[in-house]
Chain A
């Protein structure tokens, strides 16, 4: 078949940011998968609740302190997270580097109260179904915090190398910020379920 050139693409940018980047869409798709996972886990929490004569089963409601601390820490990280994302869009290398270091620390911080959240539930995973679902929800969320923390750490190192100042890498920083927002947002319904539903 003959070919006829009708469109010149040479002026297009190399690698677009946000919706012009496939990675951004990939991140969204993964958030949709994990969002479905969280939604399902919450549905199962309520399913088990609906079967149980008392909720929590054989345990007092969880202590509020560590979970609330963690929630506050997560909320506090929103503003710097959004700033880093903006700096990445603006390709401000120096600010992105500092911002990523700060974000690494802010993403590690919630792990401290998280350690105390498990005992604050006053139930072990193998005591009953309440314990099982509660530990699963906490575990699921912890896995997300740790993955994103490692991601941020690697990205921070990358941005200090000669590969850093590159549209692709700025896109990665943006996507990483997007994902951390997701980790925060998914925690809020979990927080309500884990700490406040048992007090109703």
Chain B
């Protein structure tokens, strides 16, 4: 039991039960959410860099007319790889990875729910990313866009195994995303610190919860899409073949039923990060906690009414179009509420303009611009004009980079001290922000104009007599400015990780529970589980933390609490490290990659998976297995 021990002895016991021992094998077997999340975040950022390099390649090719640096085939692979990497291997995973790190700490528990599933989901997404990038290195990367429209991706036109590789990479990433969503939902519902009732949940945790529900509702659609695409290609099902009763538009419906909510899967966690950063640096509680929670939930619901706005030009019935135009505009309401609450918090507080807050301000500016062009393209006549031009490229980068990458970079500056125990540099941070903000706007704003001048998307080059040359050169040079900003950021991260100044437990004097423990947190997160009576506990009680007593320390034990009030209900033992999730991920990868080539891989491949799952599930004969 954890009472009657002095702190040093308590920590020694907890370390013994929770820590991952050294060694490669143990590293593969670890189920510590912080270790897994750190891997996940680093992996996602590596994919951001790789995707960014591809963007640079495209910009070099487009800098002048009739450049011959990339041939059309390579260009097709590159924009597909760029879009797919950014959406599936960077943006969604990085948000989930942040959730894996932060949610357990913010709700005051010792590990995420289903930690072995968590380990599995990381290995799975890594395998999916490797599949995609190895195929690119072998000149067999998908070339059908990140949305892989049929019939281009179907059996008739999609040659070789390229579209299959795309579809299977999707399956990997969705498998991983779904597993993480389940972990988040259950961690938030059942593992909150005693007293953390629904109205005391930190806003970031709320946003991650809504994100997890969107994943749960939307990802089955893309899994269905990718699986039926593979079936059409491999065993000649006829889902997308109009000659046999199938339908090409079906693909677009299913894809965008997922693809539009995907934007909110990326954006909502960012909104949670912004809320946290705004409150901390305004030195006051967030203005409008309840409206913000409602806005998150409303965004989550409305996200599903919008997919058809990606399909205005395919010729749907009129009434349908006006419904979807209306709901596309309705989504502006919760977005407006959020922005209003953030601005009000800043206005009413005494804001400190540290780097994380700068990124938030950059976010607000770019996101508002992206939102405005979004309202423009939600109107059918305008969309008909600019569809598939650079106007759309400008719009969605404003939303994606403005709405997710800016808050994310702010969040990295903000939580880096917690994750590593060291501070990043304010000075480099300001440089990074300035270069990225200016570089971003100079790169993407002119694309609106290019679009209005009629330059189409996804062209690998253009004629010199078109009026596009000057702007394209300008954009390409600006992109280099943008890249230099990222470079400063990466340098700062590496430098700080190795030799930044010590952070201490709560360098920003923030209010939420993750700052109640040391930086970086110990394997067991908290010496004793906090008891909460406010939504900003560390501001209410800056000197003293109310905690529970009476938990076992000789094995991994969590407190399970009720959904609404967070009243403690039970003590639950949390799984120990296990190598089986790793083997299960390898077996799953072999099965999924094999099934690109033969359907029998599914049959034979599921046997080793079943074996691994049984190994994973089977008790190992320790005290908690036998009562």
Contact = CB atoms under 8 A, between A and B. Distances in A.
Nearest to B240: A129
A26 B182 CA distance: 6
B571 A9 contact: yes
Chain A CB within 10 Å, residue with most, of B181, B235, B560, B573:
B560
B250 A25 contact: no
B570 A20 contact: yes
Contacts of A15: 570-573
B24 interface: no
Interface stretch (A68-76, A130-138, A189-197): A130-138
Contact of B247 (A32, A37, A129): A129
Interface in A12-58: 12-16, 19-22, 25-26, 29-30, 32-34, 36-37, 40-41, 44, 47-48, 51-52, 57
Contact of B220 (A16, A40, A125): A40
A21 B3 CA distance: 25
Contacts of B344: none
Interface string B211-250: 0000011011101100010010001111101001111001
Contact of B572 (A11, A22, A128): A22
B190 A52 contact: no
B250 A48 contact: yes
A22 B224 contact: no
A22 B191 contact: yes
B549 A9 contact: yes
Given A3-B545, A5-B528, A126 B236 contact: yes
Contacts of A129: 238-239, 241, 244-247
B contact patch SS:
mixed
B590 interface: no
Contacts of B393: none
B114 A127 contact: no
Interface stretch (A79-87, A104-112, A162-170, A180-188): A162-170
Nearest to B218: A36
Given A1-B544, A33-B182, A36-B217, A163 B241 contact: no
Interface string B592-627: 000000000000000000100010011101001111
Contacts of A163: 619, 621, 625-626
B185 A12 contact: no
Chain B CB within 10 Å, residue with most, of A9, A13, A57:
A9
Contacts of A10: 1, 3, 549-551
A20 B244 contact: no
A3 B516 CA distance: 10
Contacts of B247: 47-48, 51, 129
A115 interface: no
A6 B547 CA distance: 6
B549 A7 contact: yes
A114 to B, nearest CB: 16
Interface residues of A, number: 57
A12 B569 contact: yes
B239 A29 contact: no
Contacts of B241: 129
A22 B113 contact: yes
A32 B253 CA distance: 21
A150 interface: yes
Contact of B246 (A5, A41, A48): A48
Contacts of B610: 150
A32 B186 CA distance: 13
A64 interface: no
Contacts of A167: 627
B434 interface: no
Chain B CB within 10 Å, residue with most, of A5, A7, A14, A21:
A7
A90 interface: no
Contacts of B559: 9, 12
Contacts of A154: 614, 617-618
A44 B254 contact: yes
Interface in A127-182: 127-133, 135-136, 150, 154, 158, 162-163, 165-168
A13 B572 CA distance: 9
Nearest to B187: A22
Nearest to A130: B245
A133 to B, nearest CB: 7
Contacts of B254: 40, 44
B186 A22 contact: yes
Nearest to A47: B250
Contacts of A131: 237-238
A52 B253 CA distance: 17
A162 B619 CA distance: 10
B62 interface: no
A162 B622 CA distance: 11
A33 B216 contact: yes
A6 B550 CA distance: 11
A126 B244 CA distance: 9
A47 to B, nearest CB: 6
Interface string B169-189: 000000000100110011001
B156 interface: no
Interface string B342-361: 00000000000000000000
B34 interface: no
B548 interface: yes
A52 to B, nearest CB: 5
A41 B231 CA distance: 15
Contacts of A21: 560, 570, 572
B372 interface: no
A22 B190 contact: yes
A145 to B, nearest CB: 14
B186 A26 contact: yes
Contact of B627 (A30, A135, A150, A166): A166
A34 B219 CA distance: 10
B531 interface: yes
Nearest to B184: A29
Interface of A: 1-16, 19-22, 25-26, 29-30, 32-34, 36-37, 40-41, 44, 47-48, 51-52, 57, 125-133, 135-136, 150, 154, 158, 162-163, 165-168
30 contacts: A1-B505, A1-B544, A2-B543, A5-B3, A5-B548, A6-B547, A7-B546, A7-B549, A9-B194, A9-B529, A9-B550, A14-B571, A14-B572, A15-B570, A16-B572, A21-B572, A25-B186, A26-B186, A36-B217, A40-B221, A44-B224, A48-B247, A48-B250, A125-B235, A128-B245, A129-B239, A129-B246, A136-B228, A150-B610, A168-B625
Report the 10 A-B pairs with minimum CB-CB distance, sorted nearest first.
A10-B550, A16-B570, A129-B245, A132-B237, A5-B549, A37-B220, A129-B246, A126-B236, A128-B244, A20-B569
Given A25-B189, A44-B250, A57-B244, 15 more contacts: A4-B544, A6-B548, A7-B194, A8-B550, A9-B551, A10-B1, A20-B560, A22-B190, A25-B186, A26-B114, A33-B219, A40-B221, A47-B250, A125-B231, A136-B237
